[in-house]
A and B are shown apart, each in its own frame.
Chain A
Amino acid sequence: MSTPPIYQSTNLPKTLSAAWRSFRIATWLGWQIESNWTDPILFAIYSMLKPLASAAILVVMYGVITNGQFENPIFPYIYLGNAFYIYVGAVMTGVSWAVIDDREHYRTLKYIYVAPIRLPAYWLGRGVARFLTGSFAVLITLAAGVLFLHVPFHPARVDWPLFLLSLMLGVVMLALMGLVLASISLMIAHHFFLIGEAVAGALYLLSGAIFPLEVLPPWLRPLGFAMPITYWLELLRRSLLGDLARGFPTLSGFSNGQLLGILAGLSVLFGLLAAVTYRLCDHQAREKGLIDQTTNY
């Protein structure tokens, strides 16, 4: 009986080694694709303009209605939620877009399929570049808020361990959600390449990113409480704003530890969902011959 190839091995160290190699190479490849189309200055401007414009839409909306009352606690709530929400679109799109990019643009998905790599690890690696550019965008957006819009930020009062732990856990959770979308992307046409951004746009409503969940109709609120992003954003707000964030009633009954536990539990759930979705979609895509389809109409 012949030995199975390394990428199909049931030996855990070998499996992890193949996954790490796939992730590492995909990270390098993703960064090259994302960044080497222009010079660094234009790339930096490009990375800044989009998130700043997105934040400015909310700032103008808020300013028009409240006549510029930026000191109201709802404003930092909206602004910080929106700033960190950049990660949602960036990470989910980064991971899921790789499928369409490889299948229809570079037409390499079929070769990737036959290469000795772990596909989910490869997709996660492709998403790292967007995570890095997203981090830059989050920093710029936060800096603009603190410098020009009086968003309260005092480094000495920030709960840094809670912030870093929440951020890390949240990014892992978003990457797993991205994997679910990447698997679904195997089965859809290329003009839905914005699936990551579309889903992020939809979750914008349900995650309390830019308004407390109490504003939603009562029948929609349970969906908001089922979203891990809701707890993630609350943790980030609490770690940065302290008591100011606790002034909003949505999750005031939960301690930081409870919120972290819920976030971790939901992340595990999305991990399982990602594994099941990948198996199902991969099987269907092979069955229907969709691995090398092009859908450019």
Chain B
Amino acid sequence: MSSEARPFFAPVPKASGWRLFLKTVVARAYPRVIGQQRERSWLFFDVFLSILAVSAYVFVYRAIGAPEEYVGFVVVGGAMTAFWLNVLWSMSSQLYWEKESGNLALYIMAPNSMMAILLGMAVGGIVATALRAAAILLVGSLIFHVQYAVGSLPALAAVFLLTLAALYGLGMMSASLFLLWGREAWHLANLAQEPIYLLSGFYFPVKNLGFWVAVAASIIPLTLGLDAMRQLLFPSGAALGFLTVPVEVAVLAVLCVLFLVAARWLLGYMERMAIREGRLLESRR
């Protein structure tokens, strides 16, 4: 080591601007991805048990003599439930949990952007959940011999990524709303499971709910995302689809921008409000 080495008390070069933003994203995503690798029980709880739950709906369709394509619809819907659960419990209600555990105040005190924290949560969540969803899709497809007829792989990939962007945008937006709630947050997230499975058509084509119900349900990006993916994955998907794929893609793109902008605005607003009303350290138990 040279004698001109930096003395130990010299200031550490600090990241700022977009470098700090990126570092924050990576730092918040890191524990999500690594934590999952250290806690291997997710393979059992999140994949194996999920496949069994999805299988139940497959066998209901078989018991009532449904066409085989419906089995594929269930497998794809079942895989996407992993993302919805992740958004609900690890995005929307995460800031509430961070507040309860005392991390939220640290996030706000630290010289970083809260948007970067949320984005890091989203990126980490997407990576970790994509593994689970892929496992459910793969195993489910193999077990039930699901036949896919992918017309355009780039279109499918684009719809999938756009759906995730809009979905996690919704998660980032609702995280700020949840910040203001106490124990209601937990119950409201709990409430948003089965009703959303129903309204977004996780296990059947959403078209069957009627036009206006499907339109209302389209505010959840998974509604149109799932519908578009099924249209691109199955031969009869287009006939059972709600809107055409280009229209659904356009709506998803609008939702994506809308949710991300709203997330940024709401986060600032809620943070100011929470600071003003002294709710950042509040723990209503």
Residues of chain A touching chain B, judged by Cβ–Cβ distance below 8 Å, are: 37-38, 46, 49-51, 53-54, 56-58, 60-66, 74, 78, 104-106, 188-189, 191-192, 194-195, 198-199, 201-206, 209-212, 215-216, 294-297
Is B208 on the interface with A (CB-CB < 8 A)?
yes
A-B pairs with beta carbons under 8 Å apart, 5 shown: A60-B204, A191-B89, A205-B55, A210-B60, A296-B97
**Given contact pairs A54-B194, A60-B209, A198 touches B63 in the complex (Cβ within 8 A):** no
- Encode B100-123 as 1/0 by CB contact (under 8 A) with A: 110100000000000000000000
Q: State whether B194 touches A74 (Cβ < 8 A).
A: no
Q: State whether A61 touches B63 (Cβ < 8 A).
A: no
Is B4 on the interface with A (CB-CB < 8 A)?
no
Q: State whether B53 touches A202 (Cβ < 8 A).
A: yes
**Given contact pairs A38-B187, A205-B55, A294-B101, A61 touches B204 in the complex (Cβ within 8 A):** yes
**Given contact pairs A66-B64, A205-B52, A50 touches B191 in the complex (Cβ within 8 A):** yes
Chain A interface SS verdict (over half): helix
How far, in angstroms, from A60 to B172 measured CA to CA in the complex? 31
How far, in angstroms, from A294 to B187 measured CA to CA in the complex? 21
Residue from B52, B60, B90 within 8 A of A206 (CB atoms): B52
Max chain A CB contacts within 10 Å: which of B60, B63, B89, B190?
A: B60
Q: State whether B41 touches A61 (Cβ < 8 A).
A: no
Inside 8 A of A54's CB, which chain B residues have their CB? 194, 197-198
Q: State whether A61 touches B101 (Cβ < 8 A).
A: no
Residue from B35, B62, B184, B190 within 8 A of A38 (CB atoms): B184
How far, in angstroms, from A58 to B60 measured CA to CA in the complex? 8
Within 8 A of A (CB), among B188-222: 190-191, 193-195, 197-198, 202-205, 208-209
Inside 8 A of B53's CB, which chain A residues have their CB? 198, 201-202, 204-205
**Given contact pairs A37-B184, A53-B197, A53-B198, A211 touches B41 in the complex (Cβ within 8 A):** no
Q: State whether B63 touches A60 (Cβ < 8 A).
A: no
Is B148 on the interface with A (CB-CB < 8 A)?
no
Apart from the given pairs A61-B64, A198-B53, A203-B52, 15 other A-B contacts in the complex at a CB distance below 8 Å: A38-B184, A38-B187, A46-B191, A50-B190, A50-B191, A57-B194, A63-B208, A105-B100, A191-B90, A195-B45, A201-B53, A206-B52, A211-B62, A215-B62, A216-B59
Q: State whether A64 touches B204 (Cβ < 8 A).
A: yes
Residue from A37, A74, A105, A194 within 8 A of B63 (CB atoms): A74
Inside 8 A of A191's CB, which chain B residues have their CB? 39, 42, 89-90
B74 nearest CB neighbor, chain A only: A61
Inside 8 A of B202's CB, which chain A residues have their CB? 57
